[in-house]
Structure 1
């Protein structure tokens, strides 16, 4: 949509014009890679979770969100993701904002010189149709760079709005194995006389999308006197955007074979520019439904077995093995230890040892458990194991005292 291009330009200018100083709050880094596919340098905005470790031996890996129009949506989307992960609603994730050089070129899958209202615009749309080349850039250059540079897990999400949403649908239809989940926010599926939407119906009918998810958001861009029922029989070009979104929903509803897990949501109170914020939140809630532990961490009835079963289910959702965090399980163990719930404490410390056998900390904690129950022999074994992984003065002191007491 033409007015959206102006919105992109204005927001991008307002954000890139801000200066930097020592008091600035930074939420990410700007990294530049050279694209051989596109023959140009491209900037990536990178957000990493606060707990990311520089230790190459760290077992913690993070799923990744690849976000189009990064210069516009990086702040809002990283904020939503960081907050939801802090409340346990979703995993901590790396966010990669891909910024624009020639937006119309990169985010349109076919060449066309017509806008949604039928107006021909050869000047503005002369470079359209580079979408496949852009996806090749993402697949063969951006993703390998991120996975070689950061501790990534084998889960990728693709997020886009407007023409970016069209690009997300293009990836879903033509490159379905590239991402685990797809977020298309008010996508421009009207592009090139609905060429991609028409292909989607054919592809869904003979493709298997098991373990793939789609969140599709549609804004209210119709004339004021219209509603979602009347607009389907309307022929005005002004309403083509929302009408085609509704038709895509019908396409998804008719699909009985692809096994694609999807949710479509209409936002009557939001227009094209305002919908990304709320839709981004709703998308993450849908895609990670079931990620949150059903009990509070301070619930005294929570057991290690419940955590184990829950994370087995989370692993199925994510498509790879997801383990409960070492720190969280350790806190549960020490909480039980302080309440003299020794048997329950042991199950948590044992879980950590099983999940993170190369961590100095889990063996040191198990040693503290054995000290609490006066099992000196196993305490010595646990502290010794910890020190083979990492030297630590406090652990060394505990082991020395144990051995001296044993000799005495």
Structure 2
């Protein structure tokens, strides 16, 4: 009996050990990679989060479209937008070609996404404290960072496809709109979600038509997504006005998407999903 008891104890011990080993053995779950990128223009390091298509290979010669996410930190919009892209590009869905997603992390949003203004009295009129914008007006430098540093880096290391999409919501939507109006050649598709067009007393909106007539020379596709208008009637009116201006331009294919079931804080996920359906033609093989 004593020998049997020892044997039973040994078997139980081995079983528990095996369970413990099984519980601690894990595989790393990865949806992308992060590059540490130093910007000489911004004089800062940035984390660039990158989602690559499932069949992407080192030194791949395929020219993948690239989707740039302004609020692209891991704790911001990168993860769920990469997830939507992965879903939409599965072969049984094939909403658009497999694409690379580039998320820009480490932004100081109120500094990087706003253009310079002569005074900031309007900030309090919009319900904010001036002290909540200790830094602002850095968008010109940020746009140069996108053009001169980030885009060349991505094209050199990952893709040379001419199809480039920019996604931005709120203040990032303001920057998105500024790039569309002032430097439209930088991207082919613009997904603008609930943009903060109030900045600078609506000066960007007021000059939108003139800026487009001066700067836009190629075809672009633009999606504007807005949440429930009762949350912010002024913002809704500004967004609707922007759409009306864009839709008059022959070089712009514009879509306006009103989502009454969404708020400013929840709209981006549904908006991006809708935008991909509206702006991207299906690959020829899936038609």
Same fold? TM cut 0.5: yes
User: In 2, distance between residues paired with 1:108 and 1:79?
Assistant: 28
Secondary structure, aligned partner of 1:164? helix
Change (3 A) 1:141 1:22: farther
Among 39, 52, 55, the alignment partner of 1:35 is 39
Q: 1:59-88 CA distances to partner (integer Å, 9 max, x unpaired)? A: 312111110111211111111111111121
CA contact (8 A) 2:183 2:215 kept: no
Secondary structure, aligned partner of 1:154? coil
CA contact (8 A) 1:205 1:258 kept: no
- 1:10 aligns with none
CA contact (8 A) 2:182 2:212 kept: no
CA contact (8 A) 1:209 1:260 kept: no
CA contact (8 A) 1:221 1:239 kept: yes
Residue correspondences, number: 257
Q: 1:355-374 CA distances to partner (integer Å, 9 max, x unpaired)? A: xxxxxxxxxxxxxxxxxxxx
Residue 278 of structure 1 deviates from its aligned partner by 0.9
- 2:242 aligns with 248
Aligned runs of 1:342-353 on 2, under 5 Å? none
The reply on whether 1:59 has 2:61 as its aligned counterpart is yes
User: In 1, distance between residues paired with 2:242 and 2:124?
Assistant: 16
Change (3 A) 1:116 1:74: farther
The reply on whether 1:141 has 2:149 as its aligned counterpart is yes
Residue 193 of structure 1 deviates from its aligned partner by 0.7
CA contact (8 A) 2:243 2:254 kept: no
Normalised by the size of structure 1, how large is the TM-score?
A: 0.59
User: In 2, distance between residues paired with 1:205 and 1:178?
Assistant: 16
CA contact (8 A) 1:116 1:191 kept: no
User: In 2, distance between residues paired with 1:205 and 1:153?
Assistant: 26
Secondary structure, aligned partner of 1:278? helix
Secondary structure, aligned partner of 2:77? helix
Residue 136 of structure 1 deviates from its aligned partner by 0.7
In structure 1, stretches of 5+ residues that fail to align are 1-20, 224-237, 296-408
- 2:78 aligns with 74
The reply on whether 1:93 has 2:99 as its aligned counterpart is yes
Residue 100 of structure 1 deviates from its aligned partner by 2.9
Aligned runs of 1:299-378 on 2, under 5 Å? none
CA contact (8 A) 2:163 2:188 kept: yes
Among 131, 134, 141, the alignment partner of 2:139 is 131
Larger radius of gyration between Structure 1 and Structure 2: 1
User: In 1, distance between residues paired with 2:52 and 2:42?
Assistant: 26
Change (3 A) 1:121 1:288: same
User: In 1, distance between residues paired with 2:133 and 2:229?
Assistant: 22
Change (3 A) 1:292 1:270: farther
Normalised by the size of structure 2, how large is the TM-score?
A: 0.83
Aligned runs of 1:9-408 on 2, under 5 Å? 22-54=26-58, 56=59, 58-71=60-73, 72-86=76-90, 87-111=93-117, 113=120, 114-115=122-123, 117-119=125-127, 121-223=129-231, 239-253=233-247, 255=248, 257-291=249-283, 293=285, 295=287
Change (3 A) 1:83 1:292: farther
Change (3 A) 1:124 1:116: closer
Q: 1:84-124 CA distances to partner (integer Å, 9 max, x unpaired)? A: 11121101111000013311100112336344853352222
Change (3 A) 1:53 1:170: same
In structure 2, stretches of 5+ residues that fail to align are 1-24
CA contact (8 A) 1:69 1:98 kept: yes
Name the structure with the higher helix share.
1
Secondary structure, aligned partner of 1:70? coil
User: In 1, distance between residues paired with 2:188 and 2:130?
Assistant: 36
CA contact (8 A) 1:204 1:258 kept: no
CA contact (8 A) 1:185 1:279 kept: yes
User: In 2, distance between residues paired with 1:160 and 1:116?
Assistant: 24
